[in-house]
Amino acid sequence: MQPAIAWPEDEPSPAFSPLRPAVPSARGMPAAVAAALWRGDQLSAPVSAVWPSGFAALDAQLPGGGWPGHGLTEILTPHSGALEWRLLAPALRPICAAGLPVVVVGPPLSPHLPGLRFEGLDERRLVWVRADTPAERLWSAEQLIKAQACGALIAWLPRARAEQIRRLQVLAGGFDAPVFVCRPSRALRESSAAPLRVQASVGVNWELHVRIAKRKGPPLEDTLHLASVPGSLASILPPRLHQPGRWMHGEETQHVVDSPSARPVQRHSSVH
């Protein structure tokens, strides 16, 4: 019988020390087995490399303190094609800066290079695989994972079936980089083998509303609110429009044209 492989643990992020599972008794167990045990009511300890998401509040709720490698992460959004970039760009930025390619498979919208530059992404490190049919997208994702061909993989698979997600998860278990599968929010009603499922939407104040629907640890009932003004707007928005919700929900400001003295006088005429 081959001895258990001892996987070296990565150093946790300084901003977050992941909770360590309380092992009932590790006596007589190999060190690798004891380290891999975890309790369902605690966040799992990192067993592979993680990539900080760029949002401290989100990292604090992700097992290991960031987006994981060696497994699938599902990103579920109501409208595919734009919101995923806002959520993932902070994590992709250092991957591109390190000279590693980021491969996107079958995005529903053509990547907007000026917008990606504003997000700090080097377009020279982006590889767009144009795959139109579900079969082509799935095949492309599988081949990229098998070949260890990129620093991060983002695949849009809106029609993927449960058994196809399970196959990708098995393949991603041997892939060192993060793998993101983008699906519509309605897929949350379906079962999935992905160990991490994140649902995202946008708020009126440019923030991202993120709910961790599934993770290796206790369920998270709260929705995270992550500040995320689009890069192309951050430098040109006036301060009052950084929170437009204040103006949309009844916060009134009296102007000269709206003052009582400026309102027209209503005249009542009587008919004789």
Is pLDDT above 50 for 15? no
* pLDDT value at residue 90: 94
Residue 190 belongs to some domain of the structure: yes
* pLDDT value at residue 30: 75
Is pLDDT above 70 for 148? yes
* pLDDT value at residue 124: 92
Q: Which residue reads 């005429």 in tokens?
A: 269
Question: pLDDT tier at 152 (50, 70, 90 boundaries)?
Answer: very high
Question: pLDDT tier at 213 (50, 70, 90 boundaries)?
Answer: very high
* pLDDT value at residue 104: 97
* pLDDT value at residue 14: 43
- Percent of the chain past pLDDT 70, that is, above it, reads 67
The encoded tokens of residue 218 equal 């206790």
Q: Mention every residue, 6+ apart, whose C-beta is less than 8 A from residue 140.
A: 105, 106, 129, 131, 155
Report d(CA 212, CA 183) in Å as an integer: 14
Q: Which of 184, 200, 202 is nearest to 192 (CA)?
A: 184
* pLDDT value at residue 203: 83
Residue 171 belongs to some domain of the structure: yes
**Higher model confidence: residue 53 or residue 15?**
53
**Higher model confidence: residue 246 or residue 4?**
246
Domain count, the chain: 1
Is pLDDT above 70 for 234? no
The encoded tokens of residue 65 equal 């303190």
* pLDDT value at residue 2: 47
Range of the domain at 98: 67-232
* pLDDT value at residue 267: 54
Q: What is the CATH number of the domain that holds 175?
A: 3.40.50.300
The arithmetic mean of pLDDT across residues 100-123, rounded, is 90
Question: pLDDT tier at 120 (50, 70, 90 boundaries)?
Answer: confident
Residue 22 belongs to some domain of the structure: no
Residue 196 belongs to some domain of the structure: yes
Residue 30 belongs to some domain of the structure: no
**Higher model confidence: residue 130 or residue 113?**
130
pTM for the predicted model, two decimal places: 0.73
DSSP E strands in 58-125: the ranges are 67-68, 72-77, 102-105
Is pLDDT above 70 for 237? no
Residue 199 belongs to some domain of the structure: yes
- Percent of the chain past pLDDT 90, that is, above it, reads 53
What is the H or E stretch that residue 152 is in?
strand 152-156
Residue 249 belongs to some domain of the structure: no
* pLDDT value at residue 268: 53
Residue 205 belongs to some domain of the structure: yes
Is pLDDT above 90 for 23? no
Calculate the average pLDDT of the chain: 79
